[in-house]
Amino acid sequence: MKATVLAAGFCAFSCAAAPIVRKQSVTFYQDPASRLVKVGYTLDDDPGIVTIDVLTNGVSIGAANIKSLAGDVNRLVQKGEHTIFWRPDLSWPGHRIEDGSVTVAVTAWATNTPPDYMMIDISLGGRTIPLQERTTYYTHPDAIPFPGGVTNELCKTDYLVFRKCPAANVKWRMGTTEMEQGSDISGSTAHYVTFTNDFWMGVYEVTQSQYHHFGVGKEDIGCCFTNECAMRPVEFVPYYWMRGWSDLSANQIAEGTRKYWPETGHEVLERDAEGSKWGSAQTNTLYRARVVTGQMVDFPTEAQWEFAARAGLGGNLPDGTAFAMTVDGESGAERLHRYARTATNGGVVGGAPAVIRTTAAGPTCNDPDKRPRLATTVAEGGPANVGSFEPNAWGLYDMCGNVAEMCLDNWQETLPSDEETDPEGPETTGKNRVVRGGSWGDADSACLTTSRRTFESSVNAGYNDVGFRLCIVIP
């Protein structure tokens, strides 16, 4: 539920909802000298996420023109009286606000029905700022307060940006058909799925810079390419580093003292103060990410991943069409290349094999003298900087291609044919997990919204074509 209060000049009226912006509480004033606009409001009852819009003749001036904001806006706000400050001369240049010429809409969103975008400051400096103050919310990607909005480099380095996927109670078709694929469906059986909750999905694959902000040293970050890695997706990070194990031996597995983790659920292992209990410094990445973000971040389930990749559309390409079809004279591969880095549009160069993998153990894999390394630049091969291609309909980038993305599920050869609710894959214990979406080293037909394959997720298995993006279930 959300409540909106409109203020024109000094007049206000409200629509009752919860959380509630109190009727007649909204005030609007612009200082004629400084041009600073001051909006006052009172939030009653439950806390809410507060956003504003500015309209002329009932039409929004656009999110990109309402960026120079301060005060209690675009964040979770407690009950009471609050103030928003806006500098229209900085974000809406060339316009003069006169009495009655604009309407300000103050909206309070319930925490379980937030706006479409959430952004968290994860920079080292940001950790000194209370979590609530560095977690902000926006109704549109252009409202993010950087030049270019969500496409700004800061959103790929020092901040994590999430897009809400409206999944709750939506019945949708997961999987594909031979007609859609144009070939074997490779275990991606078409069946219906329903989710209980909406969820947040990372707008971008987690980059090298973002991974570093989780408290992992730069020397421990996987990168099998050149040093131009800051905005490339992180890769070469074994699954068990992410969850807390630093080593696994056959004897430990047989004894039950350690296990392929997690068998079910979203567990991660915490790290003790001395750093000795759970092994080397590279482990516990998801635990660290939860501390830094204050959110229960994890890999998406396979079903969550595909729902987000499809973005409410049919077909198995990001634009909602079928890969096997020719549309307006374009083949499926030609349409795919607008959204995805694959082996045939820049991912593989110089006759390199379709997928280059390595299973070198431990942090030595990050030593350029001890692991495979491609003599390429960002433009010549390997994964591209995140966001180099078009986003899907929900503003998610690189859901197909670039790096294949880890999912929470244990691997199963064929998806079930029966209808499912909140599926999390089989509960069998094993080393193999699901990755989705294909990579820079894969053929076009393997880089679709329905493409799935397995990888060995033991501690020593790092792949330079596998990365991840983060997901958060909205309670």
Tell me, what amino acid is at 320? G
- Distant-in-sequence, close-in-space partners of 251: CB < 8 Å, separation ≥ 6: none
In this model, does residue 447 exceed pLDDT 60? yes
The sign of the dihedral angle between the CA atoms of 153, 405, 118, 76 is negative
- Provide the mean pLDDT of the chain: 81
Whether pLDDT at 365 is above 60: no
Separation between Cα atoms, residue 377 and residue 460, nearest integer Å = 26
From 65-79, 201-215, 273-287, the region with the lowest mean pLDDT: 273-287
Mean pLDDT of 66-95: 91
Rounded to whole angstroms, the Cα distance separating 397 from 202 reads 9
Extents of the domains making up the chain: 2-111, 152-473
Note the pLDDT tens digit of each residue in 17-47: 457 666 567 888 888 888 889 999 999 888 9
74 neighbors 50 (Cβ within 8 angstroms): yes
Residue 220: predicted pLDDT: 53
- Distance, in Å, from the CA atom of 406 to the CA atom of 469, rounded to the nearest integer, reads 8
pLDDT (0 to 100) of residue 371: 33
Q: What is the CATH number of domain 2-111?
A: 2.60.40
Number of other residues whose CB lies within 10 A of the CB of residue 427: 9
DSSP 348: S
Structural tokens at position 125: 């400096």
Q: Is the pLDDT of residue 237 over 50?
A: yes
Say whether pLDDT at 320 is over 60. Answer: yes
Region 40-58 average pLDDT:
91
pLDDT attached to residue 404? 95
Does 219 score more than 60 pLDDT? no
Question: How confident is residue 188, by pLDDT bands cut at 50, 70 and 90?
Answer: confident
Q: Which of 9-13, 124-128, 249-253, 332-336 has the highest mean pLDDT?
A: 332-336
With 70 as the cut, is the pLDDT of residue 460 above it?
A: no
Q: What pLDDT is attached to residue 103?
A: 85
Give 238's Cβ-side CA count (13 Å radius): 30
Kind plus residue range of the DSSP H or E element containing 69: strand 69-71
Which phi-psi region, left, alpha or beta, contains residue 284 (left: φ > 0; alpha: ψ -120 to 50)? left
How far is residue 191's CA from residue 173's CA, in Å, rounded to a whole number? 6
> How many Cβ atoms sit within 10 Å of the Cβ of residue 275?
12
CA nearest to 76, candidates 128, 121, 114: 114
Closest CA to 38 of 75, 94, 81, 93: 81
Question: By three-state DSSP, how is residue 458 classified?
Answer: coil
Residue 377 has pLDDT above 80, yes or no: no
Of 37-51, 139-153, 191-205, 393-407, give the lowest mean pLDDT range: 37-51
Residue 230, pLDDT score: 86
- In terms of pLDDT, which residue wins out, 135 or 22? 135
Average pLDDT over residues 243-260: 61
Q: Which two tokens stand for residue 208?
A: 């090298």
What percentage of the chain's residues is helix, strand, coil (to nearest 5)? 20, 25, 55
Q: Which pLDDT value is given to residue 29? A: 86
Q: Which CATH number applies to 152-473: 2.60.40.1180, 3.90.1580.10, 1.10.1240.10, 3.30.420.40?
A: 3.90.1580.10
**Measured distance CA(293)–CA(134) in Å, rounded:** 9
Q: What is the mean pLDDT of residues 333-337?
A: 96
Q: Out of 129-138, 226-235, 368-377, 429-438, pick the least confident.
A: 368-377
Beta carbons within 10 angstroms of residue 231's beta carbon: 20
Whether the CB-CB separation of 113 and 46 falls below 8 Å is answered with: no
